[in-house]
Amino acid sequence: MPRSPAAALALPLLLLLLRTSLLSSARSSPGPDYLRRGWLRLLAEGEGCAPCRPEECAAPRGCLAGRVRDACGCCWECANLEGQLCDLDPSAHFYGRCGEQLECRLDTGGDLSRGEVPEPLCACRSQRPLCGSDGRTYAQICRLQEAARARPDANLTVAHPGPCESEPQIMSHPHDTWNVTGQDVIFGCEVFAYPMASIEWRKDGLDIQLPGDDPHISVQFRGGPQRFEVTGWLQIQAVRPSDEGTYRCLARNALGQVEALASLTVLTPDQLNSTGIPQLQSLNLLPEEEAESEEGEDYY
């Protein structure tokens, strides 16, 4: 039975409206740009590739990972950054391709016992640090290239492999604090430097290095939390009025030294009561559960 002209036009019109709706949804959907590009690719694959006309291609901007050819090998588009989803199969073109110095790897860092599914992610081929021409140390070449593309006027290049030699920089300063006699106090100091820095603790401008021979004062050092960093702690157990004063974190290497100051105020119970501050607040103590969780933290 032949269809009427209206029925014959209805089906193509319906398909056109459906395609327009899907394209509009893909363009306006939330999420990273590379996911939207993936859906647009998927919708366009059924049509195949049209004749390549480079003069009609839009020029991509802000491509921190560089540029790659699109699925048809015609126009340029932004490559995916480190940590973004990618296509393990080179012939697939859903998530997109990784940028320069990057490759698509299956990330198995999740907890498989909890049902986490490994995902293909862009990863930098090199994990070696290097020194940029701006005097900053970059964790690997991909980070330096991102910075160079973000600031093209800086003409950023690789100065040499390995970290830049630098004077110590205090990344986390000790903080002024106060407590009641009999309580414990801890000062922390986190330092970045290459060559690695040494940390010393001193008090009130004196040249005596702590802890000296004082059994209720102790110091600890540990590498991290980031590469080429070291963290030092000064712990004073059962503080007494004579511990009150200014403490210095002194960091040094062959290129120089830097210091950071923090003061300690010690109150007696009578002084505390006269302030009217609730006892729990004044002790600056964490709940037992939080304290236990912090003891188990790894600073690497």
Least confident of 175-179, 224-228, 253-257, 274-278: 274-278
Q: Which residue has the higher pLDDT, 279 or 115?
A: 115
* Helix-, strand-, coil-residue percentages of the chain, each rounded to 5: 25, 30, 40
What domains lie within the chain, and their CATH numbers? 58-109+117-125 (4.10.40.20), 130-164 (no CATH), 167-269 (2.60.40.10)
Q: Residue 28: is its pLDDT beyond 50?
A: no
Whether the full predicted model's pTM is greater than 0.75, yes or no, is no
Q: Residue 41: is its pLDDT beyond 90?
A: no
Say how far apart CA 121 and CA 107 lie, in whole Å.
6
Max CA distance (Å), the chain: 106
Q: What is the pLDDT of residue 111?
A: 66
Q: Residue 37: is its pLDDT beyond 70?
A: no
* Helix (H), strand (E), coil (C) string for 234-267: EEECCCCHHHCEEEEEEEEECCEEEEEEEEEEEE
> Residue 106: helix, strand or coil by DSSP?
strand
Q: Mean pLDDT across the stretch 113-128? A: 87
Q: Which residue has the higher pLDDT, 183 or 16?
A: 183
Q: What is the pLDDT of residue 294?
A: 42
Q: What is the pLDDT of residue 200?
A: 96
Q: Residue 219: is its pLDDT beyond 90?
A: yes
pLDDT in tens, 125-165: 999 999 999 999 898 999 999 999 999 999 999 999 999 99
CA torsion 24-25-31-33 (nearest 10°) is -30
What's the distance, CA 62 to chain centroid? 20
Band (pLDDT 50/70/90 cuts) for residue 245 is very high
pLDDT in tens, 43-98: 555 457 888 999 989 999 999 999 999 888 899 999 999 999 999 998 888 899 99
For 193, the token pair is 């430097």
Q: What is the pLDDT of residue 190?
A: 97
Least confident of 149-153, 177-181, 218-222, 294-298: 294-298
CA torsion 210-212-215-221 (nearest 10°) is 40
Q: Mean pLDDT across the stretch 161-185? A: 94
Q: What is the pLDDT of residue 27?
A: 42
Contact 265, 239 (CB under 8 A): no
Q: What is the pLDDT of residue 227?
A: 83
* Helix (H), strand (E), coil (C) string for 29-63: CCCCHHHHHHHHHHHHHHHCCCCCCHHHCCCCCCC
For 5, the token pair is 């002209």
For 289, the token pair is 């559960």
Contact 279, 208 (CB under 8 A): no
φ, ψ of residue 55 to 5 degrees: the values are -65, -15
Count Cβ atoms below 10 Å from residue 215 Cβ, excluding itself: 8
Provide the 8-state DSSP code for 203. E
Cα end-to-end distance, the chain, whole Å = 76
Say how far apart CA 197 and CA 232 lie, in whole Å.
11
